[in-house]
Amino acid sequence: MAVLLGRRSPIAGWAKRAMPTAAQFLHENPNEMTLLEMLGSTNLRKSSPEDYRVLRDIVNTFERYSGVGNDIQLTLAEHSANELIMGEKKREYEKGIMDPSKFAPGHHIFQVLHTVKKSPLFQMLRKMPKGAALKTHDTSMCSSRAVIEMTYRENLWVCTTHKGCRVEEFRFAAEKPKDMRHKDGEWQPMEKLRELRGEENLRKYLRVRLSMYPLSSFRTNAHAWDHMMGIFTLLDGLLQYAPLWGDYYYRALEEFYADGVQYLEVRTVVPQLYCLDGSRLPQRETVQIYLDTLERFKKEHPGFIDSKLIYAPLRHVQPEVVGQYVKQCTELNKEFPDFVVGFDLVGQEDKGHPLSKFAEELLKLPEHIDFYFHAGQTNWYGSHVDQNLLDAIVLGTKRISHGYTITKHPLLMRLAKYLNIALEVCPVSNQVLQLGSDYRNHPAATLIAANVPMVISSGNPAFWRAAPLSHDFYMAFLGIAPMNADLKFLKRTAKNSIRYSSLSDEAKAEAMEKWKKEWDEWVEKIVDPKENVSEEENK
């Protein structure tokens, strides 16, 4: 930027004072107020074309410097990788501008799953070390394929209606269960159903039954929620079987790690698991199984960082019950102080009570257990639901899950920034649960522009047939962030996921190192021509 400000120009006043170029001006006055005042006191209509260009550059530079990732310095290798990544991003972006129907983030994910899979940009993002997945719900983490494998376990019964056509419930039991949720249901061994419907048919059916796919349109978001809750309920009987619980978690860790996630914070209702005889174990056993599984996984995957639990029961209860939740969480934390580290309430906010109703009970949670509240996952602006955002912040939450409405609350947005509260943004979830449709209209764009702390998360990726975290990164990078958001944005977002985790400062430093190692390897692979050639050959 070398344009000199003309001496006779209306902006020559401040030009003469100190800085002949916009770059110097910025260097000496990196202050937004100065910019506002400068423009406010200038008659822009009297600008010469040079003045205009200079001013334009100044404002542009200010903007560029204020978005997510602009504090990042790229290494030489990263610069090269960035060029390749941005080449692919721009190719998709420009193709989209020419023909918007070809732009994946303009569509429902279910309509573009196949296209996205083939995108070279997506392929790069898949392998990218993403740091942490800070918002995942424990029984929607494993791919449906993996869950279907689990239906081959011994002693599994299935309750169906419509002559075996609709699967309503699973249960592990030595004998045919007597009770059932659906009065017209019929229990039979899983093998029998497999025979009856044909193995391949049943697998296909279950893949649909265990996800929202292909329903890209519901009458309202409440209907989408009902559908999703139905999947959770169906999974309960299968996954809450004590001998299975740990295996599911292990498999989830495998799938997330394979998708570039080295650390997870898992929200769980901490269900009481059941045994073959139908008896229920205490909640602490559920956590113990989690912990044992995690230790095993960590031993077998030295590159993996860690995982922690956020106790997150359902919000559709009375304050007394929340009081019990708080006690339960406190006890679990006492027994597993480094593992059960947070508290949240889950379920559709529109239907539950607002946080304010529970405030008194919530404030009883010991201070060292952090809040990670779901809040503002709604588009009812100004409703009591929307107020959860305010309450989450005033109650001292460490992060906010979703916070979809926060851009309608500039003060809360500034508070989040000032108090260093990160938003867990889940682009695909917001679309599938019908909060928004086109990713280009996702409110996180404003968070990115204003550099409000945020992490990219997925929520229940298995329910939308998405990769554990890659589809959310792809949609955020290509569809939500500005066109010129590049590797700096990706690196900052990955690093933020560790920065805003519940890890201690020491643990964060170690985590950063583990992440950095994988990151550098990834960058190396992107720029390595040999690597790229072999990928080409593999096609």
Q: What is the rounded distance in angstroms from the CA atom of residue 240 to the CA atom of residue 98?
A: 50
From candidates 23, 450, 512, 527, binder to a second copy by CB under 8 A: 450
Residue number with CB closer to a second copy (200 or 367): 367
Residue 6 contacts a second copy per CB under 8 A: no
Q: What is the rounded distance in angstroms from the CA atom of residue 390 to the CA atom of residue 505?
A: 27
Whether residue 392 contacts residue 423, with contact meaning beta carbons closer than 8 Å, is answered with no
Residue 379 contacts a second copy per CB under 8 A: yes
Candidates 260, 512, 286; CA nearest to 294 is: 286
Name the minimum Å distance from CB 123 to a second copy: 23
Name the minimum Å distance from CB 114 to a second copy: 18
Residues in 264-293 at the binding interface with a second copy, rule: CB under 8 A: none
From candidates 111, 220, 233, 324, binder to a second copy by CB under 8 A: 220
Residue 60 contacts a second copy per CB under 8 A: yes
Residue 509 contacts a second copy per CB under 8 A: no
Alpha helices in 99-189 (DSSP H): 109-118, 120-127, 144-150
From candidates 75, 233, 484, 504, binder to a second copy by CB under 8 A: 484
Residue showing tokens 């997506």: 122
Q: What is the rounded distance in angstroms from the CA atom of residue 208 to the CA atom of residue 255?
A: 20
> For residues 319, 320, 321 and 327, what is the CA-based torsion angle, rounded to 10 degrees?
110
Name the minimum Å distance from CB 55 to a second copy: 5
Total binding residues toward a second copy, as defined by CB under 8 A: 79
> For residues 45, 51, 53 and 58, what is the CA-based torsion angle, rounded to 10 degrees?
-100
Name the minimum Å distance from CB 447 to a second copy: 10
Candidates 184, 218, 190; CA nearest to 205 is: 190
Binding mask 451-480 for a second copy (x = CB under 8 A): -----------------------------x
Site stretch for a second copy (CB under 8 A), options 68-76, 231-239, 412-420, 520-528: 412-420
Residue number with CB closer to a second copy (17 or 414): 414
Residue number with CB closer to a second copy (239 or 428): 428
From candidates 55, 326, 422, 433, binder to a second copy by CB under 8 A: 55
Name the minimum Å distance from CB 458 to a second copy: 21
Q: What H or E segment, with its residue span, contains residue 156? A: strand 156-161
Residue number with CB closer to a second copy (297 or 372): 372
Residue number with CB closer to a second copy (327 or 414): 414
Residue 429 contacts a second copy per CB under 8 A: no
Residues in 358-377 at the binding interface with a second copy, rule: CB under 8 A: 359-360, 363, 367, 371
From candidates 149, 285, 438, 510, binder to a second copy by CB under 8 A: 438
Residues in 309-368 at the binding interface with a second copy, rule: CB under 8 A: 350, 356, 359-360, 363, 367
Residue 44 contacts a second copy per CB under 8 A: yes
Whether residue 302 contacts residue 289, with contact meaning beta carbons closer than 8 Å, is answered with no
Whether residue 55 contacts residue 26, with contact meaning beta carbons closer than 8 Å, is answered with no
Name the minimum Å distance from CB 232 to a second copy: 21
Long-range contact list for 475-478, CB < 8 A, 24+ apart?
Answer: 475/104, 475/105, 475/109, 475/427, 475/428, 475/439, 476/425, 476/427, 476/439, 476/442, 476/444, 477/89, 477/121, 477/125, 478/89, 478/92, 478/93, 478/104, 478/105, 478/121, 478/439
Residue 29 contacts a second copy per CB under 8 A: no
Whether residue 492 contacts residue 78, with contact meaning beta carbons closer than 8 Å, is answered with no
Q: Collapsing DSSP states into helix, strand and coil, what is residue 437? A: coil
From candidates 1, 149, 482, 516, binder to a second copy by CB under 8 A: 482
Residue number with CB closer to a second copy (193 or 452): 452
Q: What is the rounded distance in angstroms from the CA atom of residue 411 to the CA atom of residue 406?
A: 9
Residues in 69-128 at the binding interface with a second copy, rule: CB under 8 A: 93, 96-97, 99-101, 106
Residue 171 DSSP class:
E
From candidates 24, 31, 66, 201, binder to a second copy by CB under 8 A: 66
Distance separating the N- and C-terminal Cα atoms of the chain: 44
Name the minimum Å distance from CB 485 to a second copy: 7
Q: What is the rounded distance in angstroms from the CA atom of residue 147 to the CA atom of residue 139?
A: 10
Residue number with CB closer to a second copy (171 or 374): 374
